[in-house]
Amino acid sequence: MASLEFKAESSAEPTAMSRSARAGLRLPVGRIHRLMCNGKYAERIGSTAAVYMAAVLEYLTAELLQLASNGARDNGARDNAKTLIMPCHIQLAIRSHDLRRLRRKLRRKMRLKASQRDGAMAPSGDAITPGGGGDTMTPGGGGDAMTPGGGGDAMTPGGGGDATTSGGGGDATASGGGVLPYIPTEHPPKESGASSS
């Protein structure tokens, strides 16, 4: 009989494992860390910041794709047909109330964790905003409006999106920073009659 030789597995040489695999994420933590460092967002970026950012991005992406998949399935002609997610389905998912609610919930959790870490209670939105309630931190607005006096569908001018412009009360910063720009889905009506020059 031939003798069989078994090689003992040595634990002296550990196999290389990516930071994404260690964190249990699918998005590339190393690439996100590099982009955060190259973006000059801060002088120094901690290694755990990239892991946290990748986890948040993966969570939001999964929720967005779930909503887009549901929209594509609802739009399908047959029950057995494969679902094809198109850009319009993703846009509808972004504008949906479910995702807006999800963004608000995530933002509240982030504020709560930051206030717990600092050891102070975060003030409520009613105390900060002179114009009304909501969880806004911008002067003159209450709720999730893009423009002053808004309150309608998500991401429409005067509507209830999370992005804000000057004077609007939203969940984003007042400096024009927001989640998404307004993208019209319908063409504006053409003016009838010739204009005089």
Q: Print the domain residue range for 73.
A: 19-95
Q: Note the Cα 83 to chain centre separation in Å.
A: 24
Answer with the residue of higher pLDDT: 24 or 178: 24
CATH number, domain containing residue 74 = 1.10.20.10
Segment 101-120 mean pLDDT: 76
Q: Which of 84, 34, 28 is nearest to 57 (CA)?
A: 28
Answer with the residue of higher pLDDT: 2 or 28: 28
Q: Is residue 55 in a domain?
A: yes
**Using one digit for the tens of pLDDT, what is the confidence trace for 18-32?**
999 999 999 999 999
| Number of domains composing the chain | 1
The confidence score (pLDDT) of residue 108 equals 86
Q: Which of 30, 8, 10 is nearest to 19 (CA)?
A: 30
**Using one digit for the tens of pLDDT, what is the confidence trace for 36-58?**
999 999 999 999 999 999 999 99
The confidence score (pLDDT) of residue 193 equals 57
Q: Is residue 82 in a domain?
A: yes
What 3-state class would DSSP assign to 63?
helix
Token match 């400096």: residue?
A: 175
Q: Is residue 190 in a domain?
A: no
The confidence score (pLDDT) of residue 32 equals 97
The confidence score (pLDDT) of residue 160 equals 43
Q: Is 93's pLDDT higher than 60?
A: yes
The confidence score (pLDDT) of residue 55 equals 95
The confidence score (pLDDT) of residue 82 equals 72
Answer with the residue of higher pLDDT: 5 or 75: 75
Residues 6 or more apart whose CB falls under 8 angstroms from that of 170 comprise: 136, 138, 141, 143, 144, 145, 146, 161, 162, 163, 164, 178
Q: Is residue 87 in a domain?
A: yes
Q: Compute the mean pLDDT over every residue in the chain, rounded to the nearest whole number.
A: 68
DSSP state of 29: H
Distance, in Å, from the CA atom of 149 to the CA atom of 115, rounded to the nearest integer, reads: 30
Q: Is 104's pLDDT higher than 50?
A: yes
Q: Is residue 79 in a domain?
A: yes
Q: H helices of 76-179, where?
A: 87-95, 97-118, 125-128
Token match 């005089």: residue?
A: 196
Q: Is residue 128 in a domain?
A: no
Q: Is 179's pLDDT higher than 60?
A: no
The confidence score (pLDDT) of residue 19 equals 96
Distance, in Å, from the CA atom of 64 to the CA atom of 80, rounded to the nearest integer, reads: 23
Global pTM reads 0.48
- Decide if 105 contacts 75 (C-beta within 8 A): no
Q: Is residue 158 in a domain?
A: no
b/e burial code for range 170-187 (CB count within 10 A of at least 16 → b): bbbebeeebeeeeeeeee
Q: Is residue 27 in a domain?
A: yes
Residues 6 or more apart whose CB falls under 8 angstroms from that of 155 comprise: 94, 95, 146, 161, 163, 180, 182, 183
Per mean pLDDT, which range of 29-38, 46-55, 82-91, 182-191 is the poorest? Answer: 182-191
